[in-house]
């Protein structure tokens, strides 16, 4: 029997119901570029995209439309039957027993369909049609927009690429919630329900109940607050989590199990503060690719191995680059105490379609991730991708400003408008610098006033730290990309090349020390965690084998200043 893709974890550890069924595994599959219902001539292993070997197909060519089908059983149940897709790229149309049950657009965001009215007790048939393309207006992340890979863009991902599962819920059920704790222990709880109903909540520290109450029946949206005595705070050093049970009253009760952490994030000129304590952000850039499964983690164990390795290598944070990762990844970061910079995957064209896609997906991503204590920053755009005229185009600047306002009104975390250069009103001034000579790096960044006004960032022709009309206003300054060193003979490219592992170690020591010794730099992010397809500048290979001993890397990177 095939191993459950979740590896013992609930598919969404922040939204757990007692009973679920994984629909990962073998499905019928067909290419149908004309969009018409095909003859299912082959099979695919879900949740891997057809482009990768783990799917059982391994065809990297571009197909406009693909179809999936499988049967599943439903037991007698008094409540709702919910169908979850964690991600389908790009537009999915879902049919149950031949009837249209719902659609979703957005390749990185999760969605849930109430299929109660479409299913019958016993066997049912689930069919999914997916449309995708090389459209630059949709959020692509690091997926190539051509038929061949190039530079740092990789094989596209089409169709179902994250887990699918079935849940049994109550007749009235919880659709989403928001937990907003304060350092004093006061917690604001917002709920959304399928229909108005009373909700009970129970909060636990370990096995000890520390808070309980009831939100009376009102509308489909309800709010309450409660206090936790002597609150224990969540941080990198002590990632304490509280468990919570939410019970929706009704004939068939809906029970959801979740958790939260209590922590506060603020920024000052000298850095990021977690719970009032300054934290030097010592991060690594992680694109979340695997050799045989592309953007999809092989399983939950692979995700846990990555998170554990990042901590063991001396980093206290990770920049999840151009990807919304698995629910389980963020849970593991919550549990291990690993800070995360969450990044909206990039489009590559500025037009009305792009603006619609970006606004919709950004709202969905915030809803999906906002309760994770590990996330300390939202990053909207990277290196002007999708807003190539941001330096001086007022229309593009206005759109980015609008999106930044939306995020800040939705959440209190810091927001970065355009990571790398040409910032607008970012809360953190995050710069990219691939200078490979440690002394030259130190010389270029010696004077803060020069860096924020006159320095050509990364010595490139794109511009300066700020876009036209914007200026430094006392933000903390970080080097959010640097390094990128490969080893000679690796069969791909890096931003520079070391002759051997020994030379790589020497180069790493020099670069890391040069960054950490710049007095006003309050964080940095090394490129990158693993090799990815043709880009071979990882600290680990695509198989997650370290290029230097883990303890050596820990001695290099765990020097972070406070």
In CATH terms, the superfamily for domain 265-557 is: Glycosidases (3.20.20.80)
Tens of pLDDT, residue by residue over 152-172, are 999 999 999 999 999 999 999
Q: Residue 23: pLDDT band by 50, 70, 90 thresholds?
A: very high
Residues whose CB falls within 8 Å of the CB of residue 215, separated by 6 or more in sequence, listed in order? 189, 191, 198, 199, 200, 201, 222, 223, 224
CA distance 547 to 540: 6
Three-class DSSP category at 525: strand
Three-class DSSP category at 304: helix
Mean pLDDT of 324-336: 97
Mean pLDDT of 226-243: 97
Give which of 73, 78, 91, 80 is closest to 35, Cα–Cα. 91
Q: Which H or E element spans position 242?
A: strand 242-248
What phi, psi does 555 have (nearest 5°)? Answer: -65, -30
Q: How far apart are the first and last CA of the chain?
A: 50
CA distance 97 to 164: 17
pLDDT at 35 over 80: no
Q: What is the DSSP-derived secondary structure letter of residue 346?
A: P
Say what the pLDDT of residue 2 is.
40
Say what the pLDDT of residue 561 is.
52
Pick one of 2.60.120.260, 3.30.1050.10, 3.30.420.40, 3.40.50.720 as the CATH number of 20-168: 2.60.120.260
**Residue 370: alpha-carbon gap to chain centroid:** 11
Q: Rounded to whole angstroms, what are the CA distances from 506 to 56, 493, 547? A: 42, 19, 13
pTM metric for this prediction: 0.96
CA distance 394 to 385: 16
What phi, psi does 83 have (nearest 5°)? Answer: -115, 120
Q: Residue 519: pLDDT band by 50, 70, 90 thresholds?
A: very high
Range 244-247, long-range pairs (CB < 8 A, 24+ positions):
244/179, 244/201, 244/202, 244/203, 244/204, 245/201, 245/202, 245/204, 246/174, 246/177, 246/191, 246/199, 246/200, 246/201, 247/199, 247/200, 247/201, 247/202
Q: What is the DSSP-derived secondary structure letter of residue 16?
A: B
Instruction: Burial-class residue 148 by CB neighbours within 10 Å (0-12, 13-18, 19+).
Output: exposed
CA distance 477 to 413: 16
pLDDT at 7 over 80: no
Tens of pLDDT, residue by residue over 427-467, are 999 999 999 999 999 999 999 999 999 999 987 666 899 99
Mean pLDDT of 480-493: 94
Fold of 174-260: Immunoglobulin-like (2.60.40)
Tens of pLDDT, residue by residue over 171-208, are 999 999 999 999 999 999 999 999 999 999 999 999 99
Say what the pLDDT of residue 251 is.
85
Mean pLDDT of 323-351: 98
Question: In the chain, what percentage of residues exceed pLDDT 90?
Answer: 93
Mean pLDDT of 361-387: 98
Q: Between β-strands 81-85 and 111-114, what pairing exists: parallel, antiparallel or unpaired?
A: antiparallel
Better-predicted residue by pLDDT, 242 or 9: 242
Say what the pLDDT of residue 559 is.
62
Where helices occur in 227-326 by DSSP H, the ranges are 300-312
Better-predicted residue by pLDDT, 541 or 41: 541
Q: Which residues on adjacent β-strands are paired with residue 160?
A: 88
Q: Which H or E element spans position 335?
A: helix 327-336
Tens of pLDDT, residue by residue over 404-420, are 999 999 999 999 999 99
Say what the pLDDT of residue 38 is.
85
CB atoms within 10 A of CB 114: 16
As given in the structure block, the two tokens for residue 204 are 């636990």
Residues written for the chain: 562
Better-predicted residue by pLDDT, 559 or 297: 297
**Residue 412: alpha-carbon gap to chain centroid:** 18
CB atoms within 10 A of CB 116: 16
CA distance 18 to 257: 8
Q: Which H or E element spans position 122?
A: strand 122-131
Locate the domains of the chain by residue range: 20-168, 174-260, 265-557
Contact (Cβ atoms closer than 8 angstroms) between residue 321 and residue 142: yes
Say what the pLDDT of residue 1 is.
29
Question: In the chain, what percentage of residues exceed pLDDT 70?
Answer: 98
As given in the structure block, the two tokens for residue 80 are 């709702």
What phi, psi does 407 have (nearest 5°)? Answer: -65, -45
Mean pLDDT of 244-264: 94
Same fold, 174-260 and 265-557: no
């Amino acid at each position: 029997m095939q191993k459950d893709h979740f590896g013992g974890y609930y598919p969404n550890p922040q939204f757990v119901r007692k009973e679920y069924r994984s629909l990962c595994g073998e499905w019928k599959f067909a290419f149908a570029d004309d969009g018409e219902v095909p003859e299912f001539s082959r099979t695919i292993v879900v949740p891997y995209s057809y482009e990768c070997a783990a799917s059982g197909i391994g065809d990297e060519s571009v197909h406009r439309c693909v179809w999936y089908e499988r049967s599943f059983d439903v037991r007698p149940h008094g409540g709702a039957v919910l169908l979850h897709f964690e991600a389908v790229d790009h537009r999915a149309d879902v049919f149950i027993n031949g009837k249209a049950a719902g659609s979703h657009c957005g390749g990185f965001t999760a969605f849930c369909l109430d299929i109660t009215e479409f299913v019958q007790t016993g066997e049912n048939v689930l069919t999914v049609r997916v449309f995708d393309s090389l459209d630059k207006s949709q959020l692509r992340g690091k997926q190539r927009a051509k038929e061949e890979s190039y530079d740092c863009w990789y094989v596209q991902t089409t169709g179902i690429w994250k887990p699918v599962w079935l849940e049994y819920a109550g007749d009235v059920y919880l659709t989403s919630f928001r937990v907003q704790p304060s350092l004093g222990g006061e917690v604001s709880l917002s709920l959304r329900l399928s229909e108005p109903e009373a909700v009970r909540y129970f909060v636990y520290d370990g096995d000890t109940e520390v808070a309980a109450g009831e939100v009376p029946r009102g509308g489909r949206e309800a709010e309450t607050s409660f206090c936790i005595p002597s609150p224990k705070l969540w941080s990198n050093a002590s990632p304490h989590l509280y468990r919570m049970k939410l019970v929706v009253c009704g004939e068939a009760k809906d029970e959801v199990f979740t958790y939260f952490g209590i922590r506060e994030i603020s920024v000052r000129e000298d850095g990021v503060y977690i719970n009032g304590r300054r934290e030097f952000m010592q991060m690594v850039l992680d694109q979340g690719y695997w050799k045989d499964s592309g953007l999809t983690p092989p399983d939950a164990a692979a995700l846990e191995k990555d998170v554990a390795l990042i901590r063991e290598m001396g980093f206290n944070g990770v920049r999840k680059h151009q990807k919304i990762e698995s629910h389980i990844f963020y849970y593991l970061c919550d549990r291990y105490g690993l800070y995360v910079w969450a990044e909206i995957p990039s489009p590559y064209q500025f037009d009305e379609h792009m603006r619609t896609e970006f606004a919709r997906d950004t709202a969905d991503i915030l809803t999906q991730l906002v309760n994770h204590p590990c996330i300390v920053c939202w990053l909207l755009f990277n290196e002007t991708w999708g807003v190539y005229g941001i330096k001086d185009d007022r229309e593009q600047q206005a759109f980015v400003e609008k999106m930044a306002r939306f995020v800040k009104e939705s959440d209190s975390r810091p927001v970065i408008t355009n990571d790398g250069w040409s910032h607008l009103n970012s809360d953190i001034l995050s710069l990219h610098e691939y200078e490979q000579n440690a002394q030259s790096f130190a010389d270029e960044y010696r004077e803060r006033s020069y860096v924020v006004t006159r320095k050509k960032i990364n010595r490139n022709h794109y511009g300066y730290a700020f876009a036209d009309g914007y200026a430094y206003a006392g933000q903390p300054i970080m080097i959010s990309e640097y390094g990128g060193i490969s080893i000679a003979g690796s069969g791909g490219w890096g931003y520079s090349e070391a002759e051997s592992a020994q030379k790589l170690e020497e180069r790493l020591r020099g670069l890391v020390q040069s960054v950490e010794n710049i007095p006003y730099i309050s964080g940095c992010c090394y490129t990158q965690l693993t090799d990815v397809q043709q880009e071979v500048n990882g600290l680990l290979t695509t198989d997650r084998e370290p290029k230097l001993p883990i303890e050596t890397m820990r001695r290099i990177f765990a020097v972070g200043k406070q």
